[in-house]
Amino acid sequence: MSSAIGDRRIARLRADAYRVLAGNWREGRLADGTRYGFTCPAPPRYRHQWYWDSCFHAIVWRHFAPARAREELRTLLRGGRLDGFIPHTIFWHDGAGWRRAPFYATHSLHGDRATAHIQTPLLALAWEAVAAASPDEPGFGVEALDALRLHYDWLECHRDPDRDGLISIIHPDESGLDDSPKYDAVFGWMSHYRPGYFWLVERSRRLRYDSRAIIARYDEHVEDVLVNVFYALGLRALARLSGNRVYDERAQRTEHALVARCWDEERGLFWDLAGRDHTPLRVSTWSSLAPLALSSLPEPIARRLIVDHVLDPRRYRSPFGIPSVSMEEPSFRAGWHLFRCWRGPAWMNTAWLLVPALRRHGYAAEADRIVASCLTLVERHGFREYYNPLNGEGLAARRFGWSTLLVDLLPSVADRSHEVPETPFHGNPREELLSMGVEAAAETSRRVGAAARKRLWSSQDGRTGGEPT
Ligand code: GLC
């Protein structure tokens, strides 16, 4: 692959990725002496430490500066509680602020140092990857075993009350896929992009975020496929790090439950299960494909996911990256929308999760095509938060940390990225607003154009029915 893409292009991409991560790096000490060091996803919009972003950042940092990768993960652990709970977002250097606080799932509206809800748990997976890149600190792999065990035990104890091996989320953003259309039917008016989300948070606040009590009292909770795939990957990593087979057995239970309960043989996709009745959420999103990342997945299932979905140009085979929602879904939206970002755009972590699985199953050419298209996206638009999978437009936040995951998909080349000067990046709210305005205008004009074409089309040829393309 390196020869096909060219070492110089890869070296340039690595230097740019380094510049983004280094510019977004924040370190310091709290008044009580607690140290922190982490990468903001994208200042000024995302200034705090997010759980899964940090894991992705560490996975990339390990290519450039393993010490930073270690500090990022240690900081995440430091933000957690002694009982094993690790928050979705931690506000280290910069409080949530009165304007933002109501948007965050915190215990109170001010003064909290972190949220009280979780995010997709891939810490052990990231820890293992960083440990493997830490010959300079051989003890790193085992130094946090107790804390990691507590974390995964907390998840099992608090988030799997029906003991079926699948953990639940109680807020849509706990998966990281905040406004995914797969949650519309469950959360309805309390969806992440609707005003009722405030009530969802308030409701959890009143129950002190006691997830067992919340799951028992309310029906809006989801056994999410993507969350459970990462949970299983984390348990497998923990088993390898600790040598404790119990975590392998737990991973196996989760993997088995995914196939036994979430797999739909007829549609050839995995569905999240909602509420106490385990109602399948039949909306095809990249979550439905995520079990491909599990090496235990039976071959016939993997093949169907790939052949019938990943390779189908009506579904997931888009010109750029992999869309977050199947292009065939009525809810699919490729472009920019206020507060909605997981309804179609291509994110880099999707390709990062699925491309290695494509290679493992013998689809190297398709994997290469996807990676090459991602490289084009970054070369044209930089490391944006997400991209339009149809026309390649770069969208939302700039200098977005986990988009550098592309580095992890490309071969390593001799480069001097670490010599790129570190310029702290703070972003500029005016520029952000301006670029959001431009994206919104482009999207609106596309929609107005599409509506006009549709009207014209139906007035010219109403006989055949169907939709213009
Ligand atoms: C958005 C994304 C979420 C991410 C956060 C910080 O809310 O939906 O997955 O963790 O931004 O980047």
DSSP codes of every residue in 251-313: HHHHHHHIIIIIEETTTTEE-EEETTTTEEE---BGGGTGGGG-TTS-HHHHHHIIIIIIT-T
Amino acid identity, residue 445? Answer: S
- What atom of ligand 1 comes closest to residue 88's alpha carbon? 10
C-beta separation of 56 from 405 below 8 A: yes
Alpha-carbon gap, residue 44 to 23, rounded angstroms: 12
End-to-end Cα distance, the chain: 34
Ligand 1 neighbour 53 (Cβ under 6 A): yes
Tell me the CA–centroid distance for residue 89 and ligand 1, in Å: 10
- List all residues 6 or more positions away from 56 whose beta carbon is below 8 Å from its beta carbon: 126, 349, 352, 401, 402, 405
Tell me the CA–centroid distance for residue 21 and ligand 1, in Å: 16
Task: Give me the tens of pLDDT residue by residue for the chain, a chain 469 residues long.
Answer: 545 889 999 999 999 999 999 999 999 999 999 999 999 999 988 999 999 999 999 999 999 999 999 999 999 999 999 999 999 999 998 877 666 677 789 988 777 899 999 999 999 999 999 999 999 999 999 999 999 999 999 999 999 999 999 999 999 999 999 999 999 999 999 999 999 999 999 999 999 999 999 999 999 999 999 999 999 999 999 999 999 999 999 999 999 999 999 999 999 999 999 999 999 999 999 999 999 999 999 999 999 999 999 999 999 999 999 999 999 999 999 998 887 899 999 999 999 999 999 999 999 999 999 999 999 999 999 999 999 999 999 999 999 999 999 999 999 888 888 788 888 888 888 887 887 788 888 878 877 887 888 788 888 765 544 433 3
Tell me the CA–centroid distance for residue 122 and ligand 1, in Å: 15
CA distances from 185 to 18, 177, 272, 275, 402 (A): 40, 15, 12, 11, 29
Q: Whose CA is nearest to atom 9 of ligand 1?
A: 176
Tell me the CA–centroid distance for residue 396 and ligand 1, in Å: 11
Q: Whose CA is nearest to atom 2 of ligand 1?
A: 176
- Buried-exposed string 412-422: b where 16+ CB fall within 10 A, e elsewhere: ebebebeebee
- What atom of ligand 1 comes closest to residue 53's alpha carbon? 10
- What atom of ligand 1 comes closest to residue 385's alpha carbon? 12
pLDDT in the model for residue 461: 67
Count of all residues that appear for the chain in the document: 469
pLDDT in the model for residue 13: 97
- What atom of ligand 1 comes closest to residue 179's alpha carbon? 8
3-state secondary structure of 40: coil
- List all residues 6 or more positions away from 331 whose beta carbon is below 8 Å from its beta carbon: 181, 184, 283, 325, 343
Tell me the CA–centroid distance for residue 163 and ligand 1, in Å: 29
Tell me the CA–centroid distance for residue 176 and ligand 1, in Å: 6
C-beta separation of 176 from 182 below 8 A: no
Tell me the CA–centroid distance for residue 407 and ligand 1, in Å: 20
Question: Candidates 20, 21, 24, 46: which one to mutate for ligand 1, based on the most atoms within 8 Å of Cβ?
Answer: 46
- 26 forms bridges with which residues in the sheet? 38
Q: How many CB atoms lie within 10 A of CB 447?
A: 12
Tell me the CA–centroid distance for residue 162 and ligand 1, in Å: 28
- Any idea what DSSP says for residue 190? G
C-beta separation of 59 from 405 below 8 A: yes
pLDDT in the model for residue 43: 92
pLDDT in the model for residue 464: 46
Q: Give the global pTM.
A: 0.95
- List all residues 6 or more positions away from 266 whose beta carbon is below 8 Å from its beta carbon: none
Q: How many CB atoms lie within 10 A of CB 322?
A: 24
Alpha-carbon gap, residue 166 to 149, rounded angstroms: 17
pLDDT in the model for residue 98: 66
Question: How many Cα atoms sit within 13 Å of 103 on the Cβ side?
Answer: 14
Tell me the CA–centroid distance for residue 7 and ligand 1, in Å: 31
- What atom of ligand 1 comes closest to residue 51's alpha carbon? 10
Alpha-carbon gap, residue 154 to 151, rounded angstroms: 5
pLDDT in the model for residue 90: 96
Tell me the CA–centroid distance for residue 221 and ligand 1, in Å: 19
- What atom of ligand 1 comes closest to residue 341's alpha carbon? 8
Ligand 1 neighbour 172 (Cβ under 6 A): no
Dihedral sign from CA coordinates of 449, 455, 457, 460: negative
Tell me the CA–centroid distance for residue 41 and ligand 1, in Å: 8
Alpha-carbon gap, residue 372 to 194, rounded angstroms: 36
Surface-to-core class of residue 397, CB atoms within 10 Å of its CB (0-12 exposed, 13-18 middle, 19+ buried): buried
Residue 74: phi and psi, rounded to 5, are -65, -35
Ligand 1 neighbour 178 (Cβ under 6 A): yes
- List all residues 6 or more positions away from 388 whose beta carbon is below 8 Å from its beta carbon: 320, 334, 335, 336, 345, 346, 395
- List all residues 6 or more positions away from 112 whose beta carbon is below 8 Å from its beta carbon: 91, 96, 101, 104, 106
Question: Candidates 86, 169, 173: which one to mutate for ligand 1, based on the most atoms within 8 Å of Cβ?
Answer: 173
